[in-house]
């Protein structure tokens, strides 16, 4: 089954073609990072316009790269949310238009479910497993039971993990998004140079805002020429230890021997290495599938293909309705 997937939830315009949920035929992405850097974060109106500027050409190019015409596509998958509504609408409206014009099945996908599915790309991973999803907007521990049934068992109570990387990156004077820049800065840093607090919240939940404030207070006290590399390394070590501790505990408590990571922060090499050193069987997406991309939406669309969706009421959404109690069948789509 060939799925054309469209992803416009934030500041990347993605279009991909994925076969049977696993094989990536083409995965194209147009990044807007440079357009947002002067604002130190994503400016919604700029994001919307940038999506509009490229979406038609990107879809055309993706089909061309795959040597396919749209007639050969079996279904169109599109991100419904969570994300920036005005950005999401660009992708959703285009997907609806194409589905109608070419009489294709339209499959709505929850972006967070898409991140989980990034692990099925070019791999033979099968549920059940325990997933750590750490992105710019979410930090969740998820008990993945089947390809479409999952339960969120832990979440961030304040800042998301990627958001903490971005905010601390800004405090260190790094460009947006801070995560990858902070990782580079930390390479030669000493993880024991400073003392930072560990967020203390129960179960599998997370809290990163206290840590971010502690970094701010520390910088205020340090001389201007303090060692930024040491501070970046100490922060990264602290965050990755917390992520590791929580996901390992969740896996143990749920008798799961498989840990899977997803979302932008799963590209972090320190986190990847620490996980590899545990006793668990570890799966992680290829680096290009960690951050936002359309291939993961194409994979999610495949696994959702038989779940009924009401096209009349299908719409984009800003917040994740999975945290609201929903029937499991619709959770992955909504
Ligand atoms: O999944 P993603 O592309 O977008 C959202 O759905 O939010 O995640 C973006 C986040 C940003 O906060 C970015 O700083 C972070 O992922 N990130 C990283 C790394 N690469 C991206 N954080 C730490 N280390 C990285 N290598
Ligand atoms: Zn994402």
Do 173 and 63 share a structural domain? no
Do 197 and 233 share a structural domain? yes
Q: Which two tokens stand for residue 29?
A: 């992405």
The ligand that comes nearest to the alpha carbon of residue 291 is 1
Gap from CA of 291 to ligand 2 centroid (Å): 6
Report pLDDT for 332: 58
Do 210 and 179 share a structural domain? yes
Q: Say whether pLDDT at 36 is over 90.
A: no
199: confidence class by pLDDT, cuts 50, 70, 90: confident
Q: Say whether pLDDT at 333 is over 70.
A: no
Do 106 and 77 share a structural domain? yes
Domain with 306 in it: 2-119+289-333
Report pLDDT for 75: 98
Do 322 and 271 share a structural domain? no
- Ligand 1 mutation target, pool 167, 291, 293, 297, most atoms within 8 A of CB: 291
Name the domain boundary from 285, 307, 322.
285
178 CB near ligand 1 (under 6 Å):
yes
37: confidence class by pLDDT, cuts 50, 70, 90: confident
Do 297 and 277 share a structural domain? no
pTM: 0.95
Domains identified in the chain, total number: 2
Name the domain boundary from 248, 264, 285.
285
Gap from CA of 263 to ligand 2 centroid (Å): 6
For residue 146, give the CATH number of its domain. Answer: 3.30.420.40
The closest-lying atom of ligand 1 relative to the alpha carbon of residue 162 is: 12
Tokens 């959702």 correspond to 304
Do 94 and 134 share a structural domain? no
Report pLDDT for 325: 36
Do 101 and 22 share a structural domain? yes
Gap from CA of 194 to ligand 2 centroid (Å): 31
Do 174 and 53 share a structural domain? no
Tokens 């986190």 correspond to 271
Report pLDDT for 322: 64
Mean per-residue pLDDT, 65-79 = 98
Which range is least confidently modeled, 16-25, 87-96, 160-169, 320-329? 320-329
Do 106 and 35 share a structural domain? yes
- Ligand 1 mutation target, pool 7, 37, 179, most atoms within 8 A of CB: 179
Gap from CA of 184 to ligand 2 centroid (Å): 21
Do 129 and 239 share a structural domain? yes
- Ligand 1 mutation target, pool 159, 184, 264, most atoms within 8 A of CB: 264
Q: Which two tokens stand for residue 220?
A: 């205020």
Do 281 and 295 share a structural domain? no
Q: Please answer whether residues 59 and 94 qualify as being in contact, where contact means their C-beta atoms are separated by less than 8 angstroms.
A: yes
Report pLDDT for 227: 98
Report pLDDT for 329: 40
Gap from CA of 180 to ligand 2 centroid (Å): 15
39: confidence class by pLDDT, cuts 50, 70, 90: confident
CA proximity to 79, closest of 110, 48, 105, 56: 110
Query: Mean pLDDT, the chain, as a whole number?
Result: 94
């Amino acid at each position: 089954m060939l799925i054309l997937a469209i992803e416009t939830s934030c500041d990347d315009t993605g279009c991909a073609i994925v076969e049977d949920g696993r094989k990536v035929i083409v995965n194209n992405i147009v990044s807007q990072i440079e357009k947002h850097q002067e604002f130190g974060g994503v400016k919604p109106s700029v994001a919307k316009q940038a999506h509009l500027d490229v979406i038609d050409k990107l879809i055309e190019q993706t089909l061309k790269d795959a040597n396919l015409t749209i007639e050969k596509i079996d279904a169109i998958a599109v991100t419904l949310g969570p994300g920036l509504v005005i950005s999401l609408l660009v992708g959703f409206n285009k997907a609806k238009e194409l589905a109608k014009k070419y009489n294709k099945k339209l499959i709505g996908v929850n972006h967070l479910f898409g991140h989980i599915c990034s692990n099925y790309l070019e791999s033979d991973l099968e549920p059940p497993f325990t997933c750590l999803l750490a992105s710019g907007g979410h930090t969740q521990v998820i008990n993945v039971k089947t390809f479409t049934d999952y339960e969120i068992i832990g979440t961030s109570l304040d800042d998301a993990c990627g958001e903490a990387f971005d905010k601390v990156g800004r405090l260190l004077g790094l460009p947006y998004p801070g995560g990858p820049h902070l990782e580079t800065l930390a390479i030669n840093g000493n993880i024991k140079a400073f003392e930072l607090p560990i967020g203390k919240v129960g179960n599998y939940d997370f809290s990163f805002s206290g840590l971010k404030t502690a970094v701010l207070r520390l910088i205020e006290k340090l001389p201007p020429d303090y060692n930024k590399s040491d501070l970046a390394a100490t922060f990264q070590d602290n965050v990755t230890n917390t992520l590791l501790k929580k996901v390992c505990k969740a896996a143990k408590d749920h008798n799961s021997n498989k840990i899977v990571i997803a979302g932008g922060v799963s590209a972090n090499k320190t986190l990847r290495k620490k996980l590899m050193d545990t006793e668990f069987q570890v799966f992680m997406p290829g680096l290009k599938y960690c951050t936002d991309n359309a291939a993961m939406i194409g994979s999610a669309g495949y696994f959702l293909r038989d779940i009924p969706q009401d096209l009349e009421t299908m719409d984009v959404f800003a917040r994740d309705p999975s945290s609201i109690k929903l029937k499991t069948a619709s959770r992955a789509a909504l």
